[in-house]
Amino acid sequence: MKHLHDDYTREIHTALGYFAAWPPGAAITLGDVGLVSGRRFRRKTSLTELGVDFAVSSPTPIGDLEYATKGSVDVSSTAGGEVPGTAAAKVLLNFSASGATFFQASGCATQTIVNLPALGRVLTRKHEWNRRYVVITEVVRSGPIVVLVSSERGATAELHASATPTESPLLGAARTGLDFTVRKGFAAHLASDSGASPLFQAMSLRKRPNRGGTMEYRNEVPPEDQDTRDMPTGFVLRRLTWDEFAAEA
């Protein structure tokens, strides 16, 4: 049976290259451990709770991220500009299909777990490790964010915003903490001035195809300062694929 989050997670993965949290405001943290099925991550524990130490990178800015389902989302606004330096606006969003997505996040930065070979060695040697578990190894943290996912054709949202001249009125509404003044027909809606962690990558232990196998990285090239010589030969920590994320339990 198709779920409303199916289109959202698929479209975001195709457009932005990350798995999407559902609901969009769900807390996703580096080192979270859990299960994936039906395009959702379900947290069970964490590396910290399991007594596994790990290091994280400094945040890497990746700018603003935007996406809207093609041909299914219409955004219009009327600006006022009564206050110098701001642009008062009423923003209307109309969705012409169920399951359509509008995603807009500013000031995004990505953070990753470093030294993945060392983490793989530790997890392989933990007898209590569930081989179905996945580990959140990369998280995108946003600044002000607006996400809407329609649950029916004709879904509409209206909000009033006060944005800077260079800022999207929708992000201005999120930044100032304004919620939607009118809501109709949405499976999920998120407007946050403090940001969220809407996107992530994950890895899991899988049987090594052969003794010459190597760790898979997001960029497919192991960093020069990471030693893979002592990786256990039975299993390898591998990036989660879309098919694995989307598979039903």
180 has a pLDDT exceeding 80: no
152 has a pLDDT exceeding 90: yes
- State both tokens at 83: 């206050």
- State both tokens at 201: 């990558």
Q: What is the 3-state secondary structure (H, E, C) of the chain?
A: CCCHHHHHHHHHHHHHCCEECCCCCCCCCCCEEEEEECCEEEEEEECCCCCCCCEECCCEEEEEEEEECCCCEEEEEEECCCCCCCEEEEEEEEECCCCCEEEEEEEEEEEEEECHHHHHHHHHCCCCCCCCCEEEEEEEECCCEEEEEECCCCCEEEEEEEECCCCCHHHHHHHCCCCCCEEECEEEEEEECCCCCCEEEEEEEEECCCCCCCCCCCCCCCCCCCCCCCCCCCEEEEECCHHHHHCCC
Q: For the chain, how many structural domains are there in total?
A: 1
Residue with the larger pLDDT of the pair 38 and 84: 38
Distance, CA of 238 to CA of 122 (rounded, Å): 14
Residue with the larger pLDDT of the pair 249 and 138: 138
Distance, CA of 136 to CA of 34 (rounded, Å): 9
225 has a pLDDT exceeding 60: no
Averaged pLDDT for residues 109-126 = 93
136 has a pLDDT exceeding 80: yes
The pLDDT of residue 3: 77
21 has a pLDDT exceeding 90: yes
Distance, CA of 45 to CA of 135 (rounded, Å): 10
Distance, CA of 176 to CA of 193 (rounded, Å): 6
Distance, CA of 224 to CA of 212 (rounded, Å): 18
- Edge to edge, the sheet with strand 73-79 lists 73-79, 87-95, 156-163, 182-184
222 has a pLDDT exceeding 50: no
Averaged pLDDT for residues 199-220 = 66
pLDDT in tens, 86-114: 555 677 889 999 999 999 999 999 999 99
pTM score: 0.82
Split at pLDDT 50, 70, 90, the class of 216 is very low
Longest dimension (CA), the chain: 68
Averaged pLDDT for residues 35-60 = 96
- State both tokens at 181: 């003044």
220 has a pLDDT exceeding 60: no
Task: Concatenate the DSSP letters of all residues of 62-80 into one string.
Answer: EEEEEEE-TTTEEEEEEE-
The pLDDT of residue 236: 84
52 has a pLDDT exceeding 90: yes
The chain-wide mean pLDDT, for the chain, equals 82
Domain that holds residue 65: 4-246
With a pLDDT cut of 90, the percent of the chain lying above it is: 55
Averaged pLDDT for residues 3-9 = 88
Question: Using only C-alpha atoms, what is the Rg of the chain?
Answer: 20
